Every structure is written in C-alpha cells, then in structure tokens.
Amino acid sequence: MNVHGRPTRTIWPSADGTAVEIIDQTRLPHEFVTARLATLDDAAHAIRAMFVRGAPLIGATAGWGMWLALRADPSDAALAHAHATLLATRPTAVNLRWALDRVRAEVAPLAPATRVTAARRLAIEICDEDVGLNRGIATAGLPLIEAIAASKKPGERVNVLTHCNAGWLATVDVGTATAPIYAAHDSGIPLHVWVDETRPRNQGASLTAWELLNHGVPHTVIADNAGGHLMQHGLVDLVIVGTDRTTATGDVCNKIGTYLKALAAHDNGVPFYVAAPSPSIDWTLHDGRREIPIEERDAREVSHISGRLPDGNTANVALLPEGSAAANYAFDVTPARLVTGIITERGVAAANAAALKKLFPEQ
Ligand code: MRU
C-alpha cells in the first residue's frame, strides 16, 4: 500500500543485502519509522515486542529470521536453534510454525554451504505468496460487499465493522480482513468502517485507523464495547475480522474481543465473516477452545496506555490504581457456529470441516 505516496510493504530486504527492514509498528500512528533486523535475535525481538505483528507478518518475519540465522551459521545445530527461538516468540498465530517448518523442511536436506541462498529465496517466496493470497481474499470477499451495496438505496453506504488490525500492516501487503474493504472502496462502493479500538494494545485505533486514513477510506474508531449497540440499531451491515489460527472445523481464534463481536452479530442477524489465508488454517486442530494456545502478555499492556502528548512527545501512563492486578489474555476463540463464512484465497467457505476441505482437498 502507499505511504506518503510510495508503494510500501511491511518487510523487505535491505538494499545492501545484509539485513531486513521493517516498519516499527510500535511507533504508529504518530511516527512512521523503519527498523533494521540484522540477526536472529533482532528478528525474534521484533516479533516478541510486536514491532511486527499480525499472523501473516509474524510468519514472514520468521522466514527472514531463519535466513538471518543461517547467514551467521548454516550448521544443523544453528538451524534447529533458529527454529526453536523463533517458534517461542508468540504462541497463537499458526503462520509462525507454518513458515518455520517450511523453511526448515526445504533447507535441512541441503549442504550447509547452500542453505543461505535457499533460505533467502524462501523468505522472498513467503512474502510474495502472502500478497497473492491476500489479493485472492480481496477477489473472494468483494462480492459479499457488492451484494449488500446492491440492496441499499443509491448513495447509501455499506457499514463494515472490523476488530484489531487485519490490514496490510498485519500482512506483507494488502491485508486480509481489509482486502475486500479496499477492493470495494477502490471500485467506488460507498463504504464506511467501524474500527474497534482493540484494547489493550489498540491495534484498531492506532494501526487500522492509520491505514484507512492513508487510503482515504471513511472510518470511525469506536470503543470496543460499542459494537453490540451499533448492531442493535442497524448500523452494521457486516463484520469482517482476521484470524491467528482457524481450526479444520472452522473455529476462529483472533484478537481478544472477537468472540463478543460474533455473539452480538449472531444475536442481531449481522453476517460475521473471517478472512483467513490458508497458512492461518491449522488442519491438525478440531476444537479451537480446547486446543489453541492463547497468549497471555504482560499485564502492563492493560494497566498502562501510550499516546501522544500536546508537545508531540509520546508517553506511557498508568490507568489503574497502584496495587490492582491486571490480566492480559491476547486472543479468544469464536466457535464455528457463530461464523457466517470464512473468506479464503480460494473462495468463501461455510465454517465447517466439509466446506473447508472442499476448498482445500489436498489437506
Ligand atoms: O496481537 P496481534 O496484533 O499480532 O494480533 C493480530 C490479530 O489478531 C489479527 O486479527 C490477526 O493476526 C489476523 S492478521 C491478518
């Protein structure tokens, strides 16, 4: 997508060929700053500290992290160490394991001297593929918005609600949940997005809002708890969210709060769609609530909040009385029965094992 008028991805090899560059997402929306990852530890830190985040981008960064590790040491031991180090950074997004296993499976049989070149090729492949998958989601998801637009009075806008950031910043480019949104906006459909702020880290307020603003998509940031009220009043036509891991049976794990949006959507007859590129589907799991590991992050993300001061500096300030405990569950699972459909790069599937298998018979 464009940043200051220039096509930009979230991750790219450095011009000197010795490192990887990323957008430091902890600095958005107030500053656009890039960071350089030169070692395995840099890549692991960038994922853990959420300089990069979003399931597809976590996978892509891990792919590049394997290359960085092998540049320093292409031995079997270093390969195993890099895989384990990166896998331990964040537990929920399955794209991480998918990317790491893919790189390891392809480079392990090679002679150490040729592993670096192969890992670099794979990292590039993973990134380019991600963009292609997201374009497929745009194509598959656009008719859902077109159908709603066709049922509206001329000029009336389609209201989409989204949670967290499943936009281009969460991927290499294009985004997943936002892919059909951008496609609809670009095709001239009048559209408006309700953006859940997404406490505690506020990916909606700081990242999705920034993206939509940059692309000229009308949007309004709302408190996380507002969605149910808006749905009761007919102000949401459909919900589209991303996913960190979707089971073979269509249970959807995504940012904490997604489940409550799905419940409210179900109660109000609002279609609830999940944009899931195939690397986000964990074909080994059949019960999301029991089987998906839910990341618990530092309680400080709940007890404190960051923002820009009038003087332009950013500050992190306390919200809670000193002494109150805080808990930070980062994801939840929405059962398949609450999901209207899963938008994949191959089309829209009902959220059940048979429909998903029909789209991906090779699984
Ligand atoms: O903790 P985050 O910011 O990595 O969580 C991101 C989400 O929950 C996204 O919705 C999900 O990764 C899908 S991204 C295309």
Q: How far apart are CA 285 and CA 308, in angstroms?
A: 42
Provide the sign of the torsion angle of the four alpha carbons 361, 288, 332, 126, taken in this order.
negative
Q: What amino acid is encoded at 47 in this protein? A: I
Is pLDDT above 90 for 258? yes
Q: Do 43 and 174 fall into the same domain?
A: no
Query: What is each CA distance from 309 to 199, 312, 317, 321, in whole angstroms?
Result: 19, 5, 11, 21
Is pLDDT above 90 for 298? yes
Average pLDDT (351-361) is 98
Q: Do 169 and 141 fall into the same domain?
A: yes
| Top mutation candidate among 50, 98, 164, 172 for ligand 1, by most atoms within 8 Å of CB | 164
CA 255–ligand 1 middle distance (angstroms) = 6
pLDDT confidence of residue 341: 98
Last-in-domain residue among 73, 105, 129 = 129
Confidence (pTM): 0.97
Q: Do 341 and 260 fall into the same domain?
A: yes
Q: How far apart are CA 239 and CA 274, in angstroms?
A: 8
> Closest by alpha carbon to 242, among 306, 177, 304?
177
Phi, psi values for residue 135, rounded to 5° = -65, -35
CA 163–ligand 1 middle distance (angstroms) = 9
Q: Which of 237, 244, 251, 332 is catalytic?
A: 244
CA 155–ligand 1 middle distance (angstroms) = 32
Q: Is the CB of 244 under 6 A from ligand 1?
A: yes
Q: Do 177 and 86 fall into the same domain?
A: no
| Top mutation candidate among 254, 278, 329, 344 for ligand 1, by most atoms within 8 Å of CB | 254
CA 245–ligand 1 middle distance (angstroms) = 10
Strands of the sheet containing 331-334, edge to edge, are 281-282, 245-247, 252-255, 331-334
Last-in-domain residue among 105, 129, 153 = 129
CA of 207, closest atom in ligand 1: 3
Phi, psi values for residue 11, rounded to 5° = -150, 140
Is pLDDT above 90 for 275? yes
Q: Do 110 and 168 fall into the same domain?
A: no
Is pLDDT above 90 for 299? yes
Give the other-Cβ count within 10 Å of 65's Cβ: 31
CA 54–ligand 1 middle distance (angstroms) = 4
CATH number of the domain enclosing 144: 3.40.50.10470
Q: Is 204 helix (H, G, I), strand (E, B) or coil?
A: helix
Is pLDDT above 90 for 177? yes
Residues 21 and 32: beta-carbon distance below 8 Å: no
Query: In the chain, how many domains are there?
Result: 2
Q: Is the CB of 162 under 6 A from ligand 1?
A: no
Question: Confidence band (pLDDT; 50, 70, 90) for 5?
Answer: confident
Average pLDDT (129-153) is 97
**DSSP state, 25?**
T
DSSP string, 167-180: SGGGSSSS-STHHH
- Print the domain residue range for 25: 2-129
Q: Do 277 and 225 fall into the same domain?
A: yes
pLDDT confidence of residue 348: 98
Mean pLDDT, the chain, rounded, equals 97
> Closest by alpha carbon to 173, among 143, 142, 133?
133
Is pLDDT above 90 for 363? yes
> Closest by alpha carbon to 94, among 290, 280, 256, 287?
280
pLDDT tens string 37-50: 999 999 999 999 99
Give the other-Cβ count within 10 Å of 67's Cβ: 25
Average pLDDT (292-318) is 97
What are the residues whose beta carbons fall under 8 Å from the beta carbon of 4, sequence distance 6 or more? Answer: 32
Q: Do 253 and 347 fall into the same domain?
A: yes
Average pLDDT (104-120) is 98
Average pLDDT (188-194) is 98
Task: Give 321: exposed, middle or buried? Use CB within 10 Å, 0-12, 13-18, 19+.
Answer: exposed
Is pLDDT above 90 for 90? yes
Q: Do 200 and 334 fall into the same domain?
A: yes
Strands of the sheet containing 11-13, edge to edge, are 11-13, 20-23, 34-37
CATH number of the domain enclosing 125: 1.20.120.420
Is pLDDT above 90 for 360? yes
Last-in-domain residue among 110, 129, 148 = 129
CA of 331, closest atom in ligand 1: 8
Question: Confidence band (pLDDT; 50, 70, 90) for 4?
Answer: confident
Question: Confidence band (pLDDT; 50, 70, 90) for 94?
Answer: very high
> Closest by alpha carbon to 96, among 297, 294, 245?
245
- Distance between start and end Cα atoms, the chain: 32
Q: Is the CB of 256 under 6 A from ligand 1?
A: no
Q: How far apart are CA 38 and CA 335, in angstroms?
A: 40
pLDDT tens string 219-248: 999 999 999 999 999 999 999 999 999 999
Q: Do 113 and 200 fall into the same domain?
A: no
pLDDT confidence of residue 155: 86
pLDDT confidence of residue 51: 98
Q: Does 196 qualify as catalytic in the annotation?
A: no
pLDDT confidence of residue 8: 96
Q: Is the CB of 92 under 6 A from ligand 1?
A: no
Q: Is 308 helix (H, G, I), strand (E, B) or coil?
A: strand
| Top mutation candidate among 53, 292, 296 for ligand 1, by most atoms within 8 Å of CB | 53
Q: Is the CB of 55 under 6 A from ligand 1?
A: yes
